[in-house]
Amino acid sequence: MIKSEQIVGFAKSLEKFRKIIITMLVIVIIAASLMYFEADFIIGILEKPIHGVNLYFMAPAEGIMVKMKIAFLGGIVISFPFIAYLLIYQTGSKLTVKVRRILYFFVTPVAVLLFIGGILFGYKLLLPSTIGFLMSSGNEFMKANLSGDNYFSFIETILLAVGLIFELPLVLIALSRINIVNSKMLKGKRKIALMVSLIAVAFVAPSLDAMTFILVTLPIIGLYEISIWCVYLLEKSDKKKQLSKLKESA
């Protein structure tokens, strides 16, 4: 039977989780409210890949909804570090001081930099050629008449996807820490990872010429190789610690 102490503990955990969710939502809403005033500037940047093609709204509220959507997504991006620090702080009682410091001062900043780097990479290399290809595909029998909502949803999907792909090293390192993967396994799956990377790039951006395709694929492969080395170095460090403990206990 479930003890009353367990029920009370579970209820406290739920209440704590509810407070965390509410705090996170408040942070995102505040950040999104601030980003709303910069929405026109962001829209101007995101419109550049279509080179002056006019965007239209098909419903009376579509214009303001686009601005709100961009502001909300921008709010998520800029509030990510604060949310990460909040989660680490709330779970801090279950983590050692050393682990908390690593999460605070290394993992979170690196995750933010990788995500932003992925977005910039997608914007500079993937979007221009992809949109150019898609826009020119129907020119023979149609004239471009783009919905602003559909266009910005397309842009956001690609940029967020590439940003998340750039988190690959941290994901693989985390999986190695809980013994799901190791450096030997990652090395053995290198060819499969390369094939998946090529297919993913070809799917997201089918229009890339050979040189641009290589330039886009190389960073993804590079991230995978960096992941292998990071996992290997951590494994090596763990072995040294185990040996030192054995020597001390001997």
Among the candidates 141, 166, 191, a domain finishes at 166
Residue in 91, 219, 85, 69 with CA at minimum distance from that of residue 156: 69
Both 117 and 2 in a single domain? yes
The CA-based dihedral angle spanning residues 219, 224, 226, 229, taken in that order and rounded to the nearest 10 degrees: -160
Structure tokens at 46: 């995101």
Flag residues of the chain having pLDDT under 70. Answer: 1-11, 13, 90-95, 138-142, 144, 204-212, 250
Please give the pLDDT value at position 250.
Answer: 62
Both 146 and 193 in a single domain? no
Please give the pLDDT value at position 92.
Answer: 61
Both 240 and 116 in a single domain? no
Please give the pLDDT value at position 1.
Answer: 47
Both 158 and 193 in a single domain? no
Cα 169–171–176 angle (5° rounding)?
95
Say which DSSP state 93 is in.
Answer: G
Please give the pLDDT value at position 4.
Answer: 64
Q: What total of structural domains would you count in the chain?
A: 2
Among the candidates 166, 194, 210, a domain finishes at 166
Please give the pLDDT value at position 207.
Answer: 55
Among the candidates 112, 142, 166, a domain finishes at 166
Helix axes 62-90, 4-36, angle to 10 degrees: 140
Please give the pLDDT value at position 30.
Answer: 94
Full residue range of the structural domain in which residue 187 is found:
167-250
The CA-based dihedral angle spanning residues 42, 48, 156, 196, taken in that order and rounded to the nearest 10 degrees: -140
**pTM of this structure:** 0.77
Alpha-carbon span 62 to 38, nearest angstrom = 18
